[in-house]
Amino acid sequence: VIDLFSGKTAHYRLHYSLEGKEGVDLSGAERADQRPGLDVHLHREALVLLKRLRKRDNRLGILVPVSAATLASPEALSRITQLHASEPGVSEGLVVDLAHAVLASLPQSSLEGLAYMPARAST
């Protein structure tokens, strides 16, 4: 997204496809308990991309979606925390993206998981 006033890049929009040009239907991922693994994978890829982008502009950040299932998964949270710890200067640019409508309906285990998210990441 270009800021028309300054002519500079204001935001980047990333479309992430798991395979091929057609993408993959992930509508059943939540039901199949695959969402935590997908969220961990997306965090890993976002850190790699953000590390490269921050070489040009250290103020850049990336919004990374996280599902309620991921927040309720101790294993997924541990893996995400390890990823963030491996890139402390970069991970502070990751912003956890969680819809407010979802936030109000999170079970206790997911709320605890949200509180457990790495302190370096924004929410």
Share of residues in the chain with pLDDT > 70 (%): 73
Q: Where are the beta strands (DSSP E) in 1-123?
A: 62-65, 94-97
Separation of alpha carbons 59 and 71, rounded Å: 27
pLDDT of 47 reads 92
pTM of the model: 0.70
Percent of the chain whose pLDDT exceeds 90: 7
- Higher-confidence residue: 84 or 2? 84
Indicate the domain borders of the chain: 35-116
Tens digits of residue pLDDT in 59-74: 888 888 888 888 888 8
CB 90, CB 43: distance < 8 Å:
no
The pLDDT score that the predictor gives to residue 100 is: 76
The single-letter code of the amino acid at 114 is L
Residue 92, pLDDT > 80, answer yes
